[in-house]
Amino acid sequence: MLARLLRPKHEASAHCDLPCGVYDPAQARIEAESVKAIMKKYADSDDPVFRTRALIIKEQRAELVKHHLWVLWTDYFKPPHLEQYPQLHQLFWDATKLAGAAGGKGTVDPAQGDELLAKIDEIAKIFWETKAAA
């Protein structure tokens, strides 16, 4: 009796946890652009204080890249997307590794920044394809 009373009268479902429009891979891209720009500024400077500050800021921005990518992966993309785009798992794996210790946080090589941006662009292409289909 109690279970019947507490049961919702209406059931709702959505492919994401909030109405669409709150997710955007551009957030990860903006932070990745910052990571790459900082890598270039680091390489162009011989000031040890500036370089230390640059490393700290670069690592913070790289962590934000990872955060924004994981929000997309865990909150926006769902099993049907993975069925349609089986490369998604590998793309997110590669992108977050490129933002993490193996890339943005662990190197000052701008080429790593370019690789990260390329992976984010691949994710963004799929993201916008799924939005268009929704």
Looking at per-residue pLDDT, the higher value among 82 and 8 belongs to 82
Residue 15 CA, distance from chain mean position: 18
Indicate the range of 19-23, 38-42, 101-105, 107-111 predicted with least confidence: 19-23
pTM: 0.83
The Cα–Cα gap between 103 and 126 comes to 23
Q: Is residue 103 part of a domain?
A: yes
Q: Is residue 1 part of a domain?
A: no
pLDDT at residue 48, rounded to an integer: 97
Phi-psi region at 21: left, alpha or beta (left = phi > 0; alpha = psi -120 to 50): left
Q: Is residue 9 part of a domain?
A: no
Q: Is residue 89 part of a domain?
A: yes
Closest to 65 (Cα-Cα) out of 23, 114, 27, 36: 27
Query: What total number of domains does the chain contain?
Result: 1
Q: Give the range of the structural domain holding residue 36, as residue numbers without chain letter.
A: 23-133
pLDDT at residue 42, rounded to an integer: 96
Q: Is residue 80 part of a domain?
A: yes
